[in-house]
A = this chain, B = another copy of it.
Amino acid sequence: MAKIPHRLYLTEEQMPKQWYNLRADMKELPDPMLNPKTFKPATEEELYPVFCEKLAHQELDDTTRYVDIPEEIQEFYKMYRPSPLIRAYNLEKALDTPARIYYKYEGNNTSGSHKLNSAIAQAYYAKEQGLKGLTTETGAGQWGTALAEACSYYHLPLTVYMVKCSYEQKPFRKSIIQTFDAQIVPSPSMTTEVGRRILAENPDTTGSLGCAISEAVEKAVTTDGYKYVLGSVLNQVLLHQSVIGLESKTALEILDEYPDIVVGCAGGGSNLGGLIAPFMQDKLLGKADPKIIAVEPASCPSLTRGRYAYDFCDTGKVTPLARMYTLGCEFIPSANHAGGLRYHGMSPILSKLYHDGYMEAVSYEQSKVFEAAVLFAKQETILPAPESAHAIRGAIDEAIKCKESGEAKTILFGLTGTGYFDMNAYSAYLEGTMTDYVPTDEELEAAFAKLPKIPGIQ
């Protein structure tokens, strides 16, 4: 076999024309989303006040296996996709491992992450429906940047609620989101009822994704012609993000490779769900049996220590109820630097697959994650986002196991984005002032005790 190139780019012709809907191949579907008032499965129409119609349809469509990517979105994708599949030759050498390590690198666009894949889709459908504007939340700021880019492209006004601790840690995120004409509000804020309530109860809170979601949803449903969009967790987002996995699989096929292990970081699940989609399909259909690993922060361990239960997607309890691995919607994670992974819940699709034994999960404290990030940066000339570095940590540990066992496994991981806006975190790590935090069992029990009570269900 010819030497495998360092970086493989598909041609435009090889890029996916359809997204892949994992639910169509699941043996058992995730439990349905429930209307929080009736505790009955939410209908498409019930979602219309919050989501635009096409996206509400995608959210509930469990049967369509492949969804055509609209031409306009395909054209936009071509501006920054295909993303490269990179062989980590130098990392392999540094680890002295027989493993072959590949990573799918999604950081080559100004949002700095994979988030743009779903942002442009959601902005497209909003524009198509003739909406006047959108609202959203952002944690680390990558989703906010991506959606600002997408909305600017379609001249759609956008209000972004940014988790207050990230807003303060990352002033430049504000500038870049404003460069794309979006309005940005630190959350919790006084601009919504739910924000005022949360601030009254806890004036010093630095916010959370769950809390910013509540504010963004309230703002959308109370503003004429506005809808709410979300960058993770939802089924529709995993659908759009399947472009990551589909491209990866095609590229690996060209190299005559198939992953033994697929590793992704998991906050709400957007990247992981997208990356693993076609490999999980093979697993569901009995065609292959790759090991699939979700990596999460030990400070916010929804899969590894959470409950599989119905919960709100937000802190303010305004969203429908989803059955997922959750730490409880009132759980406020510590100020871990991987803001994009500080979410109490997890994609219902991934939660179900994990529950049914199709994937594994592992958690790391952040100092171990940054150790991997710095090693990776030095070897591969890419400075990873703290979120992405969780996947790097997981992949490195699998490669080390290969060294110990002498097995030349093929490892694929998702490098979701770049860390240019996270230099405060890198500084803390380099200066030795980074602290690790792991919630105690008591803290988690206290949060679980506040899970919603649903008659006949939980």
Residues of A within 8 A of B (CB): 5-7, 9, 11-12, 78-80, 86, 89-90, 108-112, 116, 149, 152-153, 171-172, 175-176, 178-181, 374, 377-378, 380-383, 418, 420-421, 423-424, 426-427, 430
Q: 3 nearest interchain CB pairs?
A: A172-B423, A420-B420, A175-B423
The CA-CA distance from A94 to B29 in the complex, in Å, is 45
- Selected from B5, B86, B430, the residue in CB contact (under 8 A) with A175 is B430
Contacts of A381 in B (CB 8 A): 79-80, 109-111, 116, 149
- Copies of this subunit: 2
The CA-CA distance from A430 to B180 in the complex, in Å, is 10
Of listed A78, A79, A171, residue having the most chain B CB within 10 A: A79
Contacts of A108 in B (CB 8 A): 108
The reply to whether A5 and B78 contact each other, CB–CB distance below 8 Å, is yes
Contacts of A383 in B (CB 8 A): 110, 176, 179
- Selected from B109, B180, B430, the residue in CB contact (under 8 A) with A382 is B109
A-B contact list, 16 entries, CB within 8 Å: A5-B11, A79-B86, A79-B89, A79-B90, A79-B380, A79-B381, A109-B381, A110-B382, A112-B420, A175-B424, A175-B427, A176-B426, A178-B427, A179-B374, A180-B378, A418-B420
- Selected from B7, B12, B430, the residue in CB contact (under 8 A) with A78 is B7
The CA-CA distance from A176 to B382 in the complex, in Å, is 11
* A108-B108, A176-B383 known; A9+B6 contact, CB < 8 A: no
Contacts of A420 in B (CB 8 A): 112, 172, 176, 418, 420-421
Contacts of A380 in B (CB 8 A): 79
Contacts of A90 in B (CB 8 A): 79
CB of A88 to closest CB in B, whole Å: 9
The reply to whether A180 and B110 contact each other, CB–CB distance below 8 Å, is no
Residue ID in chain B nearest A82 by CB atoms: B7
Contacts of A171 in B (CB 8 A): 423
Contacts of A149 in B (CB 8 A): 378, 381
Contacts of A421 in B (CB 8 A): 420
Contacts of A424 in B (CB 8 A): 172, 175
The CA-CA distance from A220 to B180 in the complex, in Å, is 44
